Structure 1
Amino acid sequence: MSPSLPEVPHPAGALVAGFQPPAAPGPDLIAGLHVTLERLDPAHHAEDLFQANAGHDQLWDYLGYGPFADLEIYRDWQRSMSELRDPFFYALRDHRGGRIGGLAAYLRIDPGNGVIEIGHIQIAPALQRSPAATEAISLMIGWAFAAGYRRVEWKCNARNAPSIAAANRYGFLYEGTFRQHMVVRGRNRDTAWFAILDHEWPDLHHAHQTWLAPGNFDGQGRQRLRLSELTGALRQLP
């Protein structure tokens, strides 16, 4: 019997065996230890977040909307967003005080290719640098891969240093910058692209869970290990 020949890779790429397009985002709640993501509902979310954002107009510098002059204008904007399926918005409820402290959304949802993006992230100062804020994004990444997506993307203005730092901290890999990609508020935007792939998530998820564990924080809530240390070590692996 002749020995079998090794399979020759197809020039167009590897076969994606068994792939089934995942469902579009849809759960009304995604709950974690520190935060619950609630499907955006302006009747329950607008006032909390408007108050939490008050006096911090810089929060909108890299977004295509805001700041909002008054609560009614902001509530109307939330209402228009809550009616959409893409982007699909969540409000972030911090378990510490039970109030809404931010928004995030799935967008550019492409089930046919198993690709989904996380964006429209707007975190009020009271929620920034908290376990709840970190867990919110971790939960969104985790839901996407559990649903069957192959790729979760993160994109931001290439001048947005805090967003780039956050992408690296979560374990997204930088894939390049699209020059003159968009015009936002009349200004040029070069867009930095990042992604996590499905086979990369299990180790990153373990790193996220290690960071979020109660034992990683001392009595004053200070972290013992940085998430960037945990995910950075993974990114250095061959």
Structure 2
Amino acid sequence: MSAEGTYDINFCFSVPEALESERVKLTPFIPSKHAETFFSAAKLHPEIFTYLPFGPYEAVDDFVDTLIEGRIRKNPGEILFAIFDKTRRTSDTNEVENNSALAGLVGLLNSSPTNLAIEIGFIMILPSFQRTHVTSNAVGLLLHYALDLPVDGGLGLRRAVWQANVFNEASVRSAERMGFKLEAVLRWDRVLPIDKDDARNKKGERNGDPRAGCVGRDTAMLSICWDDWESGGKEHVDSIMDRLE
């Protein structure tokens, strides 16, 4: 791991120092700054990992070594952001970004400079910040970053994707609320780790399955494309971000 301030994000697109709305700020996740604070809160709420294909983690080193260093930083198509709620002040120096409370994590994956596409994912919002403005503002900031033209400070991509376990109805509703359109349900899309029974597609396996005991996931695929964005999608997202919730 690089020293604080020189951490190699290793992302295929230009990385902003911060993405910010009136109520939320996103900064690139740096383990030495953010890992301990997030893990200390997340370990009390393992349910936030139920529908994710990873976690929960037993120790902060496991979280960093497995997810951050073992997956995200190795892949130039992935990046993680820390989410700070600017409306909640804290005096905890381990939890602050200009005195704002750490609310969770969000990221980007399956990024393709060739195809001008990206996926919003790695959404891990701490329970006390759920059903507030945090998720909508974090996702809205990433949509602006992805779909706004470079002249407006964005990447100018053509497609932003959201994928969710079909049983994670809250995630699908969140996506649709932000203007994502359901494109398909991908049947048997993922083989999940052996301890993810609560997130399975509820279908049995064949005798002789080479990964017996690892349940399957059906995935809802949703998207916002540049033409959606330019024909009212941007204004819709901004209206959601501006709502007092």
CA drift at 1:75 = 3.7
* C-alpha distance after superposition, 1:112-168 (max 9, x if no partner): 111111111111112211212210000001110121101101111112111111111
Aligned-pair identity (%): 28
Letter in 1 for 2:238: Q
Instruction: Give me the TM-score of the superposition, normalised by structure 2.
Output: 0.73
Q: Which residue of 2 aligns with 1:236?
A: none
1:41 touches 1:78 (CA, 8 Å); kept in 2?
A: no
Letter in 1 for 2:134: A
2:229 to 197, 201, 224: 201
Two-structure CA RMSD over aligned residues (Å)? 1.8
Q: Which residue of 2 aligns with 1:62?
A: 51
1:48 touches 1:99 (CA, 8 Å); kept in 2?
A: no
- Stretches of structure 2 lacking an aligned partner (at least 5 in a row): 1-11, 90-99, 149-154, 194-213
Q: Which residue of 2 aligns with 1:165?
A: 173
Task: Report the more deviating stretch, 25-34 or 113-122.
Answer: 25-34
Describe the SS at the equivalent of 2:174: helix
CA drift at 1:42 = 0.9
Q: Which residue of 1 aligns with 2:205?
A: none
Q: Supply the distance in 1 between the matched residues of 2:118 and 2:157 (Cα, whole angstroms).
A: 7
CA drift at 1:170 = 0.8
Q: Which residue of 1 aligns with 2:140?
A: 138
2:179 touches 2:236 (CA, 8 Å); kept in 1?
A: no
Q: Supply the distance in 1 between the matched residues of 2:27 and 2:128 (Cα, whole angstroms).
A: 18
How many corresponding residue pairs?
A: 194
Task: Report the more deviating stretch, 51-60 or 203-212.
Answer: 203-212
1:17-56 alignment runs, 5 A limit: 24-56=13-45
Q: Which residue of 2 aligns with 1:76?
A: 65
Q: Which residue of 2 aligns with 1:13?
A: none
Q: Which residue of 2 aligns with 1:123?
A: 125
Task: Report the more deviating stretch, 134-143 or 93-102.
Answer: 93-102
Aligned in 2, Cα 1:48/1:193: closer, same or farther, shift over 3 Å? Answer: same
1:3-22 alignment runs, 5 A limit: none
1:148-227 alignment runs, 5 A limit: 148-185=156-193, 186-202=214-230, 203-213=232-242, 216-217=243-244, 223=245
Describe the SS at the equivalent of 1:27: coil
Instruction: Give me the TM-score of the superposition, normalised by structure 1.
Output: 0.75
Q: Supply the distance in 1 between the matched residues of 2:107 and 2:39 (Cα, whole angstroms).
A: 18
Larger Cα-atom Rg = 1
